[in-house]
Structure 1
Amino acid sequence: MDIEADLIEFKVPVENNKTLFVWNILPKFSEAEIYNSLDEVFSKYGALYSVRVCRNAAVAEPGYYAIVKFYSAAQASKAQVTTNGKGIFQESPLKVRLCTKQNTTFQQRFTYLKSAKCQELANYYLGFNGWSNRIVTLKDISQTDEQENKDPALGTQTHNLKYGCVIELIFPNYGVCCRGVGVAEELFENDTDPLARLMKRGQVQKLAKERAMSDAFQKVLFVVLGNGKVAVECRFDPDKIVPDEELGSLIQVNDISWNQFEQGGEDDDILSELSFNVTHLQ
């Protein structure tokens, strides 16, 4: 029985029912060729978060396995049923199963979806003209009266450069919009070359904008209906709506830790925590 609607959230998919484990991949092709083949096959079923191809362990037969992540549980399920036992791009049939995770804390972990991934997902469902964004404010919130930090080992003094940004997402065909806040900071030495300092300022501004966009997308929910139509909802607390003239205070209040963005491998699964159910496999 087909589900009537599927919910698409802008976060890194870690759920069991959105992750496929593909194995019995022959060592006939290179990792790049296998990646391209899997991406082409599974992207036909829906938007993919990632495709990872790994070589089998030394104790196993030569070959590869892959982990394919969907944003949609329904699309992952359909892909699993359709592709399991089919050769697709090789003579020997592939084995495809939904993953299970032994570590429940790993499954419950929430990680922000980076700005580029958010835009990619929005474009997939709405098209390039289905949404837009605007910078409401981009503000230097560095503490000008802050005491300079001195590294006793190097004898150098550093300044803290910090920017805050508010971005608004607009979905014109749905009559909804929402905002997100992002903060980025960087230390630089007082004797830094002016050109290098200018470039670093641009990098901090760019990162603040990316984080604000990612934060805004966390409030967005796509409802994909059975007929393929998409409804867009923006989840926000009406009590937290702030007038534009008060956005500077909002940025500083929301100066939270962004460690989730610093985890360079946001799409790096802990493979040791993944397992799969091979019951009923022929």
Structure 2
Amino acid sequence: MAEVVRFVVPAGRGKTLLVWGLSPGPTAEALQHALFAAFSRFGLLYSVRVAPNAAGAAPGFHAVVKFYSARDARRAREACHRQPLGQKAPVKVLTGTRHWGFQQRDLVLSSSKCRDLANYYLGFNGWSQRVLLLQNLSGFDEQENSAAELPCSGRRLQYLCVVEVALSGYACQSRGVGMAEEHVSHRAELLGKVKETQKLAVQKALSNAFQKLQFVVLESGKVVVECRSSGDSELEEGVEGLLQVRDVPEEQARPGQEEDCPSDCSLGAE
């Protein structure tokens, strides 16, 4: 059977595993890395979170492991349930059964997580990104010699970005739009804020471009890419109508990798 993998934060009972019976000996950080190594053998992980057991329960830890694929999560549960996973006593691995009374809205995946997902299913050379537009909407020049024009009360620095993602093995391109703004309160911080705002706008545009793609993973492991309809089509048409789209040199506009939250232990998002 085919499974759809989307560029959103994984949700649903089939993609979350609960690990019980972790030894109290190692630190939570050590357990986090050990579990990441153990479960990542079965597929790409979104996060691994380890926490101490509640007061009154047996001493030790439990963990929540999230996969992007429900099929990978099922394989991991079947292989790891009642296995020691690096400790003396076996652990219990169960499928998460928490159910919300209302439908949750899909949470946008960060740009670094989008890169991880694309690299996993397409390979590092299977896709590319191109910044088509990086536009200053602030109403003042960001160059150093104009910093004196900044009012003492500060200004809002705004940038609009359009990014195109192209998949080399498929006849598929997706464009995303991102806007970022920062408040500049001192003239001395203007240049640093410009770079920070540009980077954030590119990251948001890249994430938005990936939201319009999804993978259909077949049982054989073959991956089919689908381009989904975009809710931002009107915005993109408006951007192209008002602003001249231009190529930005890659070395000038490409942002660095986003820093991951240590508690997620994505080792490679959000």
Query: Compared with structure 1, are the counterparts of its residues 247 and 58 closer, same or farther at alpha carbon in structure 2 (3 Å cutoff)?
Result: farther
Equivalence map 1:134-173=2 (5 Å): 134-143=130-139, 157-173=153-169
State the AA in 1 paired with 2:127: W
User: Bigger shift: 58-67 or 76-85?
Assistant: 76-85
**Equivalent pair of 1:185/1:204 in contact (CA under 8 Å):** yes
**Range with greater deviation from structure 2 (83-92 or 58-67):** 83-92
> Which residue of 234, 238, 242 maps to 2:237?
242
Q: Distance in 1 between matches of 2:38 and 2:98?
A: 24
Give the secondary structure class of the aligned counterpart of 2:59: coil
Cα distance in 1 for partners of 2:12, 2:187 equals 45
Unaligned 5+ segments in structure 1 are 145-154, 251-263, 269-282
Match of 1:74 in 2: 71
Is the CA contact (8 Å cut-off) linking 1:178 and 1:236 kept in structure 2? no
Residue correspondence of structure 1 range 31-70 to structure 2 within 5 A: 31-70=28-67
CA contact (8 A) 2:13 2:99 kept: no
Q: Distance in 1 between matches of 2:240 and 2:10?
A: 36
Closer, same or farther: CA 124–62 of 1 in aligned 2, 3 Å? same
Alignment correspondent of 1:279: none
Question: Is 2:203 the counterpart of 1:217?
Answer: no
In structure 2, distance between residues paired with 1:247 and 1:231: 35
**Percent of counterpart pairs with the same letter?**
43
Letter in 2 for 1:12: V
- 1:124 lines up with 2:120 in the alignment: yes
Change (3 A) 1:247 1:16: farther
CA distance in 1, matches of 2:7, 2:115: 10
How far did 1:51 drift?
0.3
Between 1:58-67 and 1:30-39, the stretch displaced more is 30-39
Gaps of 5+ in 2: 141-150, 246-259, 265-270
TM norm structure 1:
0.77
CA distance 1:247–1:89, change in 2 (3 Å): farther
Please give the per-residue CA displacement for 1:99-140, whole angstroms capped at 9, x wherever unaligned: 1224334x6132110000100111111111000000011101
State the 4+ residue runs in structure 1 displaced beyond 6 angstroms. none
Cα distance in 2, alignment partners of residues 211 and 198 from structure 1: 20
Decide whether aligned partners of structure 1 residues 243 and 177 sit closer, same or farther in structure 2, where only a CA change above 3 A counts. farther
CA distance, structure 2, for counterparts of residue 224 and residue 245 of structure 1: 34
1:225 Cα deviation after fit: 1.2
Structure 1 Cα separation of the partners of residues 70 and 240 of structure 2: 42
Q: Report whether the alignment pairs 1:183 with 2:179.
A: yes
1:230 to 219, 223, 236: 223
- Give the whole-Å Cα distance in 2 for the aligned partners of 1:112 and 1:245: 24
Count of aligned pairs = 237
Counterparts of 1:114 and 1:175, CA distance in 2 = 24
**TM-score computed with the length of structure 2 as normaliser:** 0.81
Indicate how the Cα distance of structure 1 residues 104 and 14 shifts in structure 2: closer, same or farther if over 3 A, else same: farther
Equivalent residue number for residue 87 of structure 2: 90
Give 1:59 shift. Answer: 1.2
SS of 1:66's equivalent in the other structure is: strand
